[in-house]
Amino acid sequence: MHRSVVALATVAAVATVLAACTSAADHAEHPASPTLTPTTLPGGWQAEALPRQLRAEVLASDGSRVLVGGSAGAGEGREPRLLVRETRGWDGISLTPRTGYGEVAALVRLAVGPGGNVVALGNATGGAHLLPRWTAWSGSMDGVGERPQVFETFGGPSAGGLAGVSAAPVGAVVGSWATTSTRLSPAVWHEVGDRWVRRTDASGFASRGDVQALPASVTASGDEVVVVGTETTTDARGIRQAAIAWTTSDLTTWRRVVLGPRSGTSSGATDVACAADGCVAAGWVGDRLAAWRLEGRDAGRLALPAIAVEPYVARAKVAYDGACTAVLAGRESRAVLTSGDLVHWARSSVPEPQVDDAVMADGRLFVLTPDAGTALASLPDPCGRP
| pLDDT reading at 7 higher than 50 | no
Per-residue CA distances from 372 to 38, 72, 80, 276, 335 (Å)? 18, 17, 21, 33, 16
The domain tally of the chain equals: 1
Q: Indicate whether 17 belongs to any domain.
A: no
71-117 pLDDT tens trace: 999 888 999 999 999 878 899 999 999 999 999 999 999 999 999 99
The predicted pLDDT at position 5 comes to 37
Reported confidence tier of residue 127, pLDDT bands at 50, 70, 90 = low
Query: Does 18 reside within a domain?
Result: no
Residue 272's domain comprises 41-379
CATH code at 252? 2.130.10.150
Contact 234, 210 (CB under 8 A): yes
Share of the chain above pLDDT 70, in %: 88
Asked if residue 108 belongs to a domain, the reply is yes
Residue 91 covered by a domain: yes
Spell 67-87 as b/e; 16+ CB within 10 A means b.
Answer: bbbbbbeeeeebbbbbbbbee
Q: What is the pLDDT of residues 8-20, one digit of tens each?
A: 343 344 344 333 3
Is residue 20 in a domain?
no
For 312-359, the pLDDT digits (tens) are 999 999 999 999 999 999 888 899 999 999 999 999 999 988 899 999
The answer to whether residue 25 sits within a structural domain is no
Task: Assess contact for 35 and 89: CB atoms under 8 A.
Answer: yes
pTM for the model stands at 0.88
Give residue-wise pLDDT tens across range 212-246. 999 999 999 989 999 999 999 988 888 999 999 99
Residue 150: count other Cβ atoms within 10 Å of its Cβ: 10
Asked if the structure places residue 133 within a domain, the reply is: yes
Instruction: Report residue 36's pLDDT band, with 50, 70 and 90 as the boundaries.
Output: low
Within-domain flag for 7: no
So what's the pLDDT on residue 386? 56
